[in-house]
Amino acid sequence: MQLLSGRPFPPSAPAARRGAVSKGCAIAAAIVLVPVLLAALYLWGGYNGLVSDQENARQKWAQVENQYKRRYDLIPNLVETVKGAAEFEQQTLTAVTEARASVGRVQLPADLPADQAQLDAYVRAQQGLGAALSRLFAVAENYPQLNATESFRDLQSQLEGTENRITVAREDYTRAVAQFNKRVRRFPTNLVASVTGFEVLPQFSIPAEETAVPKVDFGK
């Protein structure tokens, strides 16, 4: 009679229960998977942020080294030029040469500084070289013939520009490292950092009076 009347058969009880169970499982899976997926996306973003900040610090450090190397490479020409001045103070020249040699003896990783003590030693050697150059130019003021030499004036100009670029590069590196280290320490990216091997980078930690770039007065 039900077929003749066109009324559908009511679903059986087992089929209805199976449909309800399937729907419940789907909801439960969504409840579990959505937070997991969101957490995975957040951690993935944290990892990418660490990579980005580390690469930024790497680029800024490369600029620091480039400027220090430029100064290092200019010094032999400066010393040879100064040697041409009659009776120039040998002690001053020796101090510059020895300070340059001290810089050459300090070794740092090719990528990024990894050890605070090594970075401190590197910076102190560079500051010693800067101070020696500052004394040399102060003494050079007593030699008008030397100051009138075109090659000497050109080296003065190049070194002055290099000192300024060193200051800018150091400041940029300091900011980049501060940003990276903050991300490494901050929760929850500190969990990502600990699992993936990211560690805080050493920072310029020498007192300001020691790290200040020596003033080099080139112009009169």
Label each residue of 101-113 as H, E or C: HHHHHCCCCCCCC
pLDDT band at 210 (very low <50, low <70, confident <90, very high): very low
Does the pLDDT value for residue 186 go beyond 80?
Answer: yes
82 is a domain residue: yes
153 is a domain residue: yes
Domain ranges, residue 182: 13-211
Judge contact between 176 and 50, C-beta under 8 A.
no
Cis (ω within 30 of 0) for the bond into 188? Answer: yes
3 is a domain residue: no
Which tops the pLDDT comparison, 192 or 209? Answer: 192
Q: Is 11 left (phi over 0), alpha (psi -120 to 50) or beta?
A: beta
Contacts of 35 (CB under 8 A, 6+ apart): none
Instruction: Give the closest residue to 146 by CA, choosing from 94, 78, 70.
Output: 78
Rounded to the nearest 10 degrees, the angle between the axes of helix 116-140 and helix 13-83 is: 30
Does the pLDDT value for residue 74 go beyond 90?
Answer: yes
Instruction: Give the closest residue to 136 by CA, choosing from 175, 186, 78, 183.
Output: 78
Number of structural domains (the chain) is 1
The amino acid that residue 121 corresponds to is: A
Lowest mean pLDDT among 5-14, 66-75, 119-128: 5-14
Dihedral Cα 72, 78, 79, 82, nearest 10 deg: -160
217 is a domain residue: no
Instruction: Give the closest residue to 156 by CA, choosing from 164, 147, 143.
Output: 147
The Cα–Cα gap between 76 and 74 comes to 6
The Cα–Cα gap between 60 and 176 comes to 7
Judge contact between 195 and 201, C-beta under 8 A.
no
179 is a domain residue: yes
Percent of the chain at pLDDT > 90 equals 54
205 is a domain residue: yes
Largest CA distance in the chain: 128
170 is a domain residue: yes
2 is a domain residue: no
Per-residue pLDDT at 23: 60
Per-residue pLDDT at 203: 93
pLDDT band at 85 (very low <50, low <70, confident <90, very high): confident
The CATH number covering residue 199 comes to 1.20.1440.20
Per-residue pLDDT at 66: 95
pLDDT band at 159 (very low <50, low <70, confident <90, very high): very high
The mean pLDDT value of the chain amounts to 82
